[in-house]
Structure 1
Amino acid sequence: MIHDYLSLSILLFCLGILGVISRRNVFTVFMSVELMLNAANLAFIALARLHENMDGHVLAMLVMAVAAAEAALALAVVILLHKHTGKVDTNVFSLLKG
């Protein structure tokens, strides 16, 4: 049973990595990062159930808090990027250096 959850977690994490590497749209990249964070949450909770303690649940809550902060920052960056360039591709991030 635990192997099913961990296999699903690994599959979701690999799909997230594939999405980050292969896509150019900022929204798709951020959705892929969120998918990787959710895969980590699934692994934390599955392993916590296996060891019958609450450490994995606490880590999952911490990851959710980090994901919420990351989503807020990502939205601000995307709005700034769209305001300056009119595009939301990752290729135009070099324009934000100055």
Structure 2
Amino acid sequence: MGGCQGSDTTAVVDNNMTKFLILNGCHVAAYQKIIDNGGNYADVVKYFKDHIDLKNKHSDDIDIDIKQVKKDIESTGIADMNFQMEDDYEIE
């Protein structure tokens, strides 16, 4: 995973490319730590919610119930949800 050189935001994108959760600042290391510690998409969304004060104006609104996501994951037997994290680079 890359760093945040040249970037002032960090975006997490779901697999369906329908939800773009963008925080101001570089959060790649924090997201990587979540994943390295066995976290999944629900844990990343929780981090986003915990830092909602840093939400970028271009971010989608968060309307995901973390407890419901975890319940859905457990009920389907999926151990981990794949997700894509990308730095949001400014293109001039």
Alignment TM-score > 0.5, same fold: no
TM superposition score normalised by structure 1: 0.35
| Higher alpha-carbon Rg | 1
Structure of higher RCO (CA pairs closer than 8 Å, 6+ residues apart) = 2
Bigger helix fraction: 1
Q: TM-score, normalised by structure 2?
A: 0.36
Normalized per residue, the structure richer in strand is 2
